[in-house]
Amino acid sequence: MAAALVPLQNITLSSNQTSVTFGSIPTSGYRDLYLVINNTLVSSGTNGVMRVNGDTGGNYNRIQMVGTGSSTSSYSASGDDAIYSWELAGTGSRGVVTMNFMDYAATDKHKTILIRSNVPAYAVVASANRWASTSAITSILLTSGGSFAAGSTFALYGVVA
């Protein structure tokens, strides 16, 4: 039976680190990418920041919904210089983020990235994001306003069509 979810790369941080980058992502053999983050930040919880292919231009668009346990909200933005629509757990907590990069290697469409953020101490978030580029995704940068604590894990998978 052919594998549907293929591990591409992973890292468990041995020390605090301000960013994690997956690079040299193959552009054939897979339809989508699936990324799982299980983390704690050194400081308090904050927005995650994600860029693909090192693009720092205003090419990121998003819509998101947030539940904090006491309130609900929805936001949208266009022309951002990164994807900011995900949340990370801060000191004393632990969160999980999953990202689906749909048709990541297609060269005839912009890229849709669906993100679920789970920070039990703060919020649950779902967002739909668009990278306005027809380039295949070959690298993913993950960072935030703080540092990822040692022990945080990041795993990237390819999804076979």
Q: Per rule CB under 8 A, is residue 42 in the interface with other proteins?
A: no
DSSP for 73-108, please give it.
EEEEEEEESSB---EE--TT--EEEEEEEETTT-SS
- Write out the two tokens for 23: 């690079």
Helix (H, G, I), strand (E, B) or coil at 40: coil
Q: Is 3 in the site for other proteins (CB under 8 A)?
A: yes
Is 137:50 a contact under the CB 8 Å cutoff?
Answer: no
Contact status: 124 vs other proteins (CB under 8 A): yes
Cβ at position 79, least distance to other proteins in Å: 26
- The reply on whether position 76 binds other proteins by CB under 8 A is no
* Smallest distance from other proteins to CB 116, Å: 6
Six token digits for residue 149? 């604590």
Residue 36 contacts other proteins per CB under 8 A: yes
Q: Which residues bind other proteins (CB under 8 A)?
A: 1, 3-11, 20-26, 36, 38, 65-72, 89, 93-96, 98, 116-124, 126, 151, 153-158
